[in-house]
A and B are shown apart, each in its own frame.
Chain A
Amino acid sequence: AQKITQTQPGMFVQEKEAVTLDCTYDTSDPSYGLFWYKQPSSGEMIFLIYQGSYDQQNATEGRYSLNFQKARKSANLVISASQLGDSAMYFCAMRGQNDYKLSFGAGTTVTVRA
């Protein structure tokens, strides 16, 4: 079974600044994938970034980057140059190597201030 922990229920960030969202995980699978999704108030879950457990480099997608520390079992999301449209709930999720499904954390609400 996979377990995802997001300990920050809410965060405020000033526009144009960077913010780091914490995610730790627990799994017994030797191989797994880690995902981050964004959920704005409209409700739809939007995929942001993926990191494979055996990937040598940290994943980056535009303003999103993933700080992957395998030994610590953490996969923190960094959003650079925050924009007002980044205000949303952010979820960390993972899939084990034999899993069909994604398991999600409880999420972190990000509010960007002008």
Chain B
Amino acid sequence: DTGVSQNPRHKITKRGQNVTFRCDPISEHNRLYWYRQTLGQGPEFLTYFQNEAQLEKSRLLSDRFSAERPKGSFSTLEIQRTEQGDSAMYLCASSLSLRMEGKLFFGSGTQLSVL
């Protein structure tokens, strides 16, 4: 068990470019979450996968954002035509249990800076 892994740790891009982040959850975890966190704020939910099915998407997830989880293993989050407002920390989390007390295990995040 190596924990939740996210790559890259940091990404600097120019406005208008596309970026893709990767998340590798804990191997036996079938539930995967993406959150976005801006400086000084709490994480905001973006989307949720159960195995390969994307079951919930936040209204924060505009058409420029797409997430996938092929084969129910790793997940990718792509942002097209990046804007300066997309600058944030993108956190991935996974869990095994959907019981009320099922905690989320988080990765260290990908810090995106859009210039």
Instruction: Tell whether, in the assembled complex, residue A44 and residue B107 are in contact, meaning their CB atoms are under 8 Å apart.
Output: yes
Which residues 56-85 of A sit at the B interface, judged by CB distance below 8 A? Answer: none
Contacts of A50 in B (CB 8 A): 101, 103
Contacts of A32 in B (CB 8 A): 100
Cα distance A4–B44 in the bound complex, in angstroms? 12
Given A43-B109, A106-B42, A101:B33 Cβ within 8 A: yes
**Given A47-B103, A95-B100, A107-B40, 9 further pairs, Cβ under 8 A:** A6-B42, A32-B100, A43-B89, A43-B109, A45-B93, A47-B105, A100-B33, A101-B48, A106-B41
Q: Does B65 contact A (CB under 8 A)?
A: no
What is the minimal beta-carbon distance from B101 to any residue of chain A, in angstroms? 5
Cα distance A67–B44 in the bound complex, in angstroms? 25
Which residues 61-115 of B sit at the A interface, judged by CB distance below 8 A? Answer: 89, 91, 93, 98, 100-101, 103-109, 111
Given A100-B55, A101-B33, A101-B56, A45:B43 Cβ within 8 A: yes
Cα distance A100–B31 in the bound complex, in angstroms? 9
Chain B interface size band reads 20 to 34
**Nearest residue in B to A47 (C-beta to C-beta)?**
B103
Cβ contacts A83-114/B at 8 Å (1 or 0 each):
00000000101010100111111110000000
Instruction: Tell whether, in the assembled complex, residue A44 and residue B109 are in contact, meaning their CB atoms are under 8 Å apart.
Output: yes
